[in-house]
Amino acid sequence: MNLERIKYQTCPYDQEEGILLTDLEEVIPETDDDGNLQYYCPSCSNTFTYCDCDYQDRR
């Protein structure tokens, strides 16, 4: 998985840049129960999930 490519996503709350949550070594991304990536927005202090449907074909 290329973390650089998915490292940032637009925050759905204020359209600022959210940062991918990972483990301490920034190797394994945090995911929720559905396997969606977790992001943290420093602007509004919200965490949000992002569906990686654009990157993986889930048929």
Q: 6 or 48, CB closer to Zn ion?
A: 48
To 5 degrees, how large is the angle CA 42–CA 54–CA 21? 30
Q: 14 or 32, CB closer to Zn ion?
A: 14
* Binding map of Zn ion across residues 3-32, x = CB under 5 A, - = no contact: --------x-xx-x----------------
- Confirm if 41 and 16 have CB atoms less than 8 A apart: yes
Q: 8 or 13, CB closer to Zn ion?
A: 13
| Spatial separation of the C-alpha atoms in residues 49 and 6, rounded to whole Å | 12
